Structure 1
């Protein structure tokens, strides 16, 4: 999530939880998030350029959350192509890069962080990207209510919130029930790509993935079960800074059996 609105899991939110706060409203003709249930919004102000991107590019790239109907990828993208779900894209730099180097694939991107959505709208619009659509809504609800089983060719979850304190580990997004739900949304042969810069979380991710019978590791037991960074995932500024400080980054790439 590149340090913007990191993905997390909240099993029992309360109405007094600040995560239920309404984000500032974008232009009235643009669909937007009403409730946040599985993300913590980081502080950040939408810039004038990002606000302009909502107005100019929002109608082209933003999709409404529609829990009463299945997502129609062909209608949304105007073509039939492999579909990848991106859960939490931060400020959108990595997402725009991946979409640009993989024009044959379509990317359904979920993020609740308003400045991040504005930033990706600007990158997609200015860059002429045709294979991005954005849902400014909780990815867990999108997955549960809009996506059919075996409808995805891939899922990306990059740098979700590690929730460092032990008492907060229950809020981590990558847990057994969630991974099982993700696996069921993947087509046979579809992949799940996770990345984290926090080793204890990487170890938990590996443990959770190993316990999921619907998934198999693409690298087996090589390199401790962690995959080399795929070429399509760029190094973010946040990641580069960490690497210079001697921090590690762990990629996990598993496939649906």
Structure 2
């Protein structure tokens, strides 16, 4: 009688996914410190095939950028919903960025779910998400071409409570020019926080900047962006913590516009 061949066991997601307890680090990092970062001189120098090998040769570049992506909850939530859209997380903390990198690798190794509409351009399996360790306050234009992004996310950023620390807030008049540069007209900036003072700060600065206008959640849902709003509200580590503590959240969104002549 012929011996039955043993099939190789498929990797189990729960057994190879990284554990956060092994990647502990402070909740925030000083963006003005020397973090010994390597970064490209310009977007032309970025080899995106290293980050998205399944899309090599497609000419695609990231369209969604999650600034200060934390443990990657937003990226992981959106990846299967927009399988043909490349997404990049930017995180300055060493251990946290390593966790996200390992998490994506594990999900790619264990995922067998095809994208909703599989094609040569939408391989699925979390192939469309990646992360770089970067200081977005200093090097965002080093990664993204002008008008290359359709969405920028600032989810539960460091509030920098002290007045003398406000210059370190990720939303500031100086930085808004860079965000407008990389975001295409019609693109959306998504912000959310559980700190009311910071929510008012971000809304005031973005509303005052001539290349952004406030857009309400109902209008975005009518445009089909409901899944993004739901992920912004509920998919991040910080957002879930606020829910567990029955805290409040403040969501504000802004559309990149062309200046009127």
TM-score by length of 2: 0.67
CA distance in 2, matches of 1:111, 1:210: 26
Aligned pairs for 1:36-75 within 5 A: 65-70=39-44, 75=49
CA distance in 1, matches of 2:144, 2:166: 27
Select the structure of larger CA radius of gyration.
2
Distance 1:110 1:203, change over 3 A: same
2:152 maps to 1:159: no
Aligned pairs for 1:71-220 within 5 A: 75=49, 77=52, 78=56, 79=58, 80=60, 83-128=63-108, 129-219=126-216
Alignment RMSD: 3.0
Q: State the match for 2:238 in structure 1.
A: 238
| Structure 1 residue ranges without an equivalent (≥5) | 11-18, 23-33, 36-63
CA distance in 2, matches of 1:104, 1:69: 20
Distance 1:69 1:199, change over 3 A: closer
* Total equivalences in the alignment: 203
**Secondary structure of the corresponding residue to residue 70 of structure 1:** helix
Contact 2:213 2:254 survives alignment (8 Å):
yes
Contact 1:8 1:173 survives alignment (8 Å):
no
Q: Displacement, 1:81?
A: 6.5
CA distance in 2, matches of 1:134, 1:240: 21
CA distance in 1, matches of 2:106, 2:140: 28
Q: Displacement, 1:142?
A: 2.9
Contact 1:90 1:111 survives alignment (8 Å):
yes
Q: Displacement, 1:208?
A: 0.4
Distance 1:123 1:208, change over 3 A: same
Contact 1:82 1:153 survives alignment (8 Å):
no
For 1:49-81, what per-residue CA distance to the aligned partner results, in whole angstroms no more than 9, with x for missing partners?
Answer: xxxxxxxxxxxxxxx621145366865542336
**Secondary structure of the corresponding residue to residue 161 of structure 1:** coil
CA distance in 2, matches of 1:95, 1:220: 20
Distance 1:113 1:167, change over 3 A: same
Q: Displacement, 1:187?
A: 0.9
TM-score by length of 1: 0.68
Contact 2:193 2:249 survives alignment (8 Å):
yes
CA distance in 2, matches of 1:196, 1:154: 17
Distance 1:71 1:187, change over 3 A: farther
CA distance in 1, matches of 2:184, 2:152: 11
| Structure 2 residue ranges without an equivalent (≥5) | 1-24, 109-125, 220-224
Contact 2:31 2:135 survives alignment (8 Å):
no
CA distance in 2, matches of 1:174, 1:190: 17
For 1:75-119, what per-residue CA distance to the aligned partner results, in whole angstroms no more than 9, with x for missing partners?
Answer: 554233661111111122332222233212111221121221222
